[in-house]
């Protein structure tokens, strides 16, 4: 198995971070990888904001958690026992899990492929991060988080066109635990071969 495939299979969502900030050179490589993702029509629509302001990340993380409308986990159905998500542990205060760097990907609100564009960029980012020893977690509810008063104000302050919408977050930081979480077994019958 080559290193790229190994990296894909080994990456796990990390929700427990060390407090120290990630190295600037490392972040720059991760962001560069995000900009080289495929994009619909080659438009390179997604804009990536890397926020390292702890106060802003804290507020937005709380707004993000408050926007969670999914089911809470049960003994039978949970996201992660080792690295609980906000669906697993109601006591977690932030949808960003205290990560020192939080990325938000914005793309045009009225473009059919914005979610796909941001999703493939996010995948490049999390794989690049893992290959460099950085933990990451893709986090949903970016639209809700940036629909808030604070989100709208920040979007203006960051000079992001009001035609753009936040589509996805990615938390980044050094993993707090040495042992990575284990992947759940892969579901069967997800691959259909046709000859």
Ligand X SMILES: Cc1cc2nc3c(=O)[nH]c(=O)nc-3n(C[C@H](O)[C@H](O)[C@H](O)COP(=O)(O)O)c2cc1C
Give the footprint of ligand X on this chain (CB under 6 A).
12-13, 15, 79, 85, 137-140, 183
User: In the complex, what is the shortest distance from the CB of residue 2 to ligand X, in angstroms, rounded to a whole number?
Assistant: 20
Dihedral angle, C-alpha 144, 146, 152, 155, nearest 10 °: -160
* Cβ-contact 34, 48 below 8 angstroms: yes
Length of the chain: 195
Q: Which residues contact 191 (CB under 8 A, 6 or more apart)?
A: none
Q: What is the CA radius of gyration of the chain?
A: 17
**Residue 30 C-beta-side C-alpha neighbours within 13 Å:** 30
CB of 175 to ligand X, least distance (A): 12
Q: How far is the CB of 117 from ligand X (least distance, A)?
A: 13
C-beta closer to ligand X: residue 97 or 164: 97
> At closest approach, how far in Å is the CB of 195 from ligand X?
30
**Closer CB to ligand X, 40 or 79, in the complex:** 79
Q: Report the number of secondary-structure helices (H) and strands (E) in the chain.
A: 6, 4
Nearer to ligand X by Cβ, of 13 and 57: the residue is 13
- Which CB atom, from 12 or from 154, has the smaller least distance to ligand X? 12
């Amino acid at each position: 198995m080559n290193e790229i495939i190994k990296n894909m299979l080994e990456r796990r969502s990390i929700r427990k971070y060390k407090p120290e900030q990630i190295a600037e050179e490392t972040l720059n490589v991760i962001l560069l990888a995000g900009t080289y993702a495929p994009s619909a029509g080659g438009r390179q629509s997604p804009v990536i904001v890397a926020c390292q302001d702890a106060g802003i990340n804290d507020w937005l993380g709380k707004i993000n958690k408050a926007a969670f409308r999914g089911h809470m986990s049960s003994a039978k159905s949970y996201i992660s026992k080792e690295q609980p998500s906000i669906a697993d542990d109601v006591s977690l205060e932030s949808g960003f899990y205290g990560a020192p760097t939080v990325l938000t990907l914005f793309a045009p609100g009225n473009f059919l492929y914005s979610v796909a564009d941001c999703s493939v960029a996010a995948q490049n980012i999390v794989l690049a991060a893992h290959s460099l020893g950085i933990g990451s977690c893709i986090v949903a509810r970016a639209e809700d988080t940036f629909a808030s008063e604070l989100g709208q104000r920040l979007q203006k302050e960051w000079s992001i066109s009001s035609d753009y919408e936040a589509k996805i977050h990615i938390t980044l930081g050094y993993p707090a635990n040495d042992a990575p979480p284990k992947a759940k077994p892969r579901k069967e019958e997800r691959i259909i071969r046709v000859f």
